[in-house]
Structure 1
């Protein structure tokens, strides 16, 4: 029987989707791709294949999940199966360098960024950036891993020489222009089927952990702003009547890169200019924010997958 196959490596991030699939009485099967075997001479089953592999898989001791998934996707693509977020999406998921090049190709502004391989070159890259404040981050990351804010190269030097320094899993560190927003928040733009669903305002006053999934939780070492929150407030807030013109650029970018499901994060500077800095093709949603707004990303995703499955049966 044809069904929806979910390619993933994290049960906690998949439960909300399977609940919606069951609610809609849609047949599905989970493929946990942390490890396994793949017979390249066999043929895949019929169905819809949705790739949810995350760049942060190595933080859950699933170091080679992206590589194994790339092999599985190549196999599926060879047999012309219907794939949601195929190999191109995976390539962008695990590399911010690839993200930025694709965004720039689409005419979308990203922060000025210099890459460095080798600890001794990170300091040189910061000097090349020639900016007072800057951010370091990992090329393959997720959940804010490796993101630090520095106001001087001397502070960076101290970090590099400390036990707190985090080595990137792929060896590539990004040194990036710090965009100072008038208020401490970013906006994450959610898309299903390549179409805009909603924008969620994310409070950054307590650090760089911006993953909206209920299961996400890491300790932040540095904060992106010196402004302290004055009153308790929700970290995630779905925005009403929100659709800036950049959403049209994002939808075109997703079409050009064959990405159906994504969360795209951007920040605005004091002049109101958007800087896009992350494309998350394994997007998650915050249940509290959605309940308050009455809109549900996983439900929309389940409906989308169900629609693809129905079309495949005709």
Structure 2
């Protein structure tokens, strides 16, 4: 029988190195399970250990569209055998559905943006008129900010919907959403591990971009020169902030143990949460200045579970 370890289920090797380094630094035995194909014997007991699922809503952009459904099958198999799974089947459903995120956040008392989900395109342009321009359209299954667009007129949106340039969500559900006017050109991403705030990140939105992936693999460069950092540590937002308690209630209700939650502070004084990342990545620029490490906290958390359940100590 193999020694119990942390099994990390994912589909993007480019995002794994910071976590591999954190596991190694803390002496937590871990292995990758790259879920882009393969097979499982449903009648065979899974290997011992703790499982952490990092499957992403953006997998389809890397030609891994099947990973979502592969993950559904694997996670149900693991859970049926009683394995501890961080980021299990319920978490995966939140990752791949902004409708599910919106409903869960609202149910937990967290303020969310006015949103309409449209199935297909038949009345998509007409439904957009429920919102005053500018407004936002986005994919229900997104990831990395892909598929998010701002529209300054209903006519422009209708022309796009009726054109060959229209880009549907992988699941055919388009979200229409109010545009959030922020009091300053940034949004905040609060990082949580095991229900506790690790740190908050100030994300510069002055360029108007929506593709705000914090991972080093996503960092843009011009002629080989890295662009100025979009992500900086937000030191004024601490665990005492009132929104943190609301986020923690949401995490408790949904069973999320690891997440990055994004919110905006609007001109009219609202604190509006609009996105949940259940397979959070961490900005190297922030990690270099933060009082605690996101990957480090995750390695310690999963290593602690492994020790508690299987008696596996750090190696």
Question: TM-score, normalised on structure 2?
Answer: 0.92
Aligned pair partner of 1:57 in 59, 72, 81: 59
Distance 2:228 2:71 in 1: 38
Cα contact 1:209–1:218 (8 A) shared by 2:
no
Between the two proteins, the alignment pairs up a number of residues equal to: 301
Greater Cα offset, 287-296 or 235-244: 287-296
Aligned counterparts of 2:203 and 2:194: Cα–Cα separation in 1: 23
Q: Give 1:233 shift.
A: 5.3
Corresponding residue for residue 119 of structure 1: 121
Q: What does residue 74 of structure 1 align with?
A: 76
The aligned counterpart of 2:310 is: 313
- Is 1:27 paired with 2:29? yes
- Aligned residue number for residue 229 of structure 2: 234
Who is 2:199 aligned against? 198
Instruction: Name the residue aligned to 2:170.
Output: 169
Give 5+ residue unaligned stretches, structure 1. Answer: 220-231
Instruction: Give 1:29 deviation, angstroms.
Output: 1.2
TM-score by structure 1 length? 0.92
**Local SS of the residue matching 2:252:** helix
How far did 1:46 drift?
Answer: 0.9
- SS of the residue 1:278 aligns to: strand
Shift of 1:39: 1.1
Cα distance in structure 2, aligned partners of 1:12 and 1:92: 23
Tell me if 1:157 matches 2:169: no
Structure 2 match to 1:252:
249
Contact 1:137 1:146 in 2 (8 A): yes
Deviation at 1:313, TM superposition (A): 2.1
Could you tell me whether the CA contact under 8 Å between 1:86 and 1:258 is conserved in 2?
no
How far apart, in 2, do the equivalents of 1:130 and 1:55 lie? Answer: 26
**Secondary structure in structure 1 of the residue aligned to 2:189:** strand
Q: Which residue of 2 is the match for residue 132 of structure 1? A: 133
Question: What secondary structure sits across from 2:218 in the alignment?
Answer: coil
- Root mean square deviation, CA, Å: 1.6
Q: Distance between the aligned counterparts of 1:215 and 1:294, measured in 2?
A: 23
Separation of aligned partners in 1, 2:252 and 2:290: 27
Whether the aligned pair in 1 keeps the contact of 2:131 and 2:178 (CA below 8 Å) is: no
In 1: Cα distance, 2:143 partner to 2:132 partner: 25
Instruction: Report SS of the residue matched to 1:71.
Output: helix
In the alignment, structure 2 segments of 5+ residues that lack a partner are 222-226
Identify the match of residue 102 of structure 1 among 94, 101, 104: 104
Shift of 1:238: 1.1
**Displacement after TM superposition at 1:65 (Å):** 0.4
* 1:34 Cα offset (Å): 1.4
Q: CA deviation at 1:17?
A: 0.2
Alpha-carbon offset, residue 217 of structure 1: 5.4
**Contact 1:3 / 1:28 at 8 angstroms: preserved in 2?**
yes
